[in-house]
Amino acid sequence: MKKIMTAGPTMVRENVLAARALPFTNPDLDMDFFEMYRETCGMLEDLASCTTGQALILGGEGMLGLEAAAAALTEKGDRVLIIENGIFGRGFDYFAELYGGEAVMFSSDYKKPIDVNALRSFLEKDHDFKYASLVHVDTPTGVLNDVREICNLLSEYGILSVVDSVAGLFGESLSFDSSKIDILLGGSQKALSAPPGLTMVWVSDKAWDVIENRKTPIASYYANLLLMKDYFVKKEFPYTMPISDINGLRVAIENVIADGGILTRHREVAMACRGALTRGGLELYLESGWANTVTAFVVPENVNPELLLKDMVVDYGIMLSDSLLEFKGKLIRIGHMGENAYDEFMIQTLKALAGALRKQGFEPLADMAEYFRSFMK
């Protein structure tokens, strides 16, 4: 069995896999399922410190949440601010324009977090936007953005916020209420460590008010959040819910709740990982704003990235992630989120990485695994 030390999906605990294998009922007809679904959404609200909104679980991978947010908020001609310092950040323009919006880009240095002072200056000159989108952790580079500061700034101007925290939630500190987020998006396959296939969405009361008072209907069925809003009152879902996936998600959430030190564990593992890589002579891509869930390092000169990733799997049974688009073949990413963020898996990964690098003639400057072990003592 391969260890998937990638930027997501992550490894999954046995009790989550067991829950997905349980006998299941008809989720369209069984009232007990409606109650379990509501309870599970309530647990998500508690974990995200959300008392001013509603959590929902959608049957689809994280991209469904991005499209659902755009479908819900965007009407023809709406100006949408795309706040971006990474591939996923800038990519939201597709969804905004798909539903008739005018995407306006605010771009920041890809090697650093969003420059909030520069954003403030931008908004002083132009703040006529219905909503803005941003990414908490942009996984192709692993950059972490200050969601609370950005969303509070947007709120000052009456701009709704859509936050993609698929790679941030449960590995980074985040409060829905104090950050004044309007739509928050998460995925089952990252730090929550459930199998891929589910999106979690938190919608603020303010956002619901805007959505319910649209001038035009939402131009989607499957990505229509309004069809989900009153599921418990109506005892009706717009489509048959993937009950086995939700059973597994419920147990993954319980695992997170039981892990009182989850944020500390992620922070310490991330620091140890970055320290090990740099002492080994590898260059981190970012100058600042390193996430606690994923680390990207630059592929050394004369090292073939495809061969390196292949050797990691064939020789050691460990998967790492290449990056995407302009970073493909230039950066390699280690996912240390959720079930991946434990000493034993990281030590095995760093040992294997050293061996795979040596195979191509790159000799690490230090024992990366030993540094990690010493740091975590």
Query: For 329-374, how does the pLDDT look when each residue is reduced to its tens digit (9 = 90+)?
Result: 999 999 999 999 999 999 999 999 999 999 999 999 999 999 999 9
Query: For 261-280, how does the pLDDT look when each residue is reduced to its tens digit (9 = 90+)?
Result: 999 999 999 999 999 999 99
Structure tokens at 246: 């939700």
Round to whole Å and give the CA distance between 225 and 208. 9
For 262-376, the fitting CATH number among 3.10.270.10, 3.40.50.10140, 1.10.3130.10, 3.90.1150.10 is 3.90.1150.10
Q: Model-level pTM greater than 0.85?
A: yes
Tell me if 14-258 shares its fold with 262-376.
no
Structure tokens at 331: 């950066």
Q: Can you give the pLDDT at residue 122? A: 98
Which among 22, 25, 27, 341 has a CA at the least distance from the CA of 167?
341
Query: For 215-258, how does the pLDDT look when each residue is reduced to its tens digit (9 = 90+)?
Result: 999 999 999 999 999 999 999 999 999 999 999 999 999 999 99
Torsion of CA 75, 103, 148, 156, to 10 degrees: -70
Domain boundaries, the chain: 14-258, 262-376
Q: Can you give the pLDDT at residue 377? A: 87
Alpha carbon separation from 126 to 81, 122, 123, 130, 205 (Å, rounded): 10, 6, 5, 12, 26
Considering the domain delimited by 14-258, tell me its CATH architecture: 3-Layer(aba) Sandwich (3.40)
Stretches where the chain sits below pLDDT 70 are: none
> Does a cis peptide bond (omega within 30 degrees of 0) precede residue 9?
yes
Average pLDDT, the chain: 98
Q: Can you give the pLDDT at residue 1? A: 83
Round to whole Å and give the CA distance between 350 and 347. 5
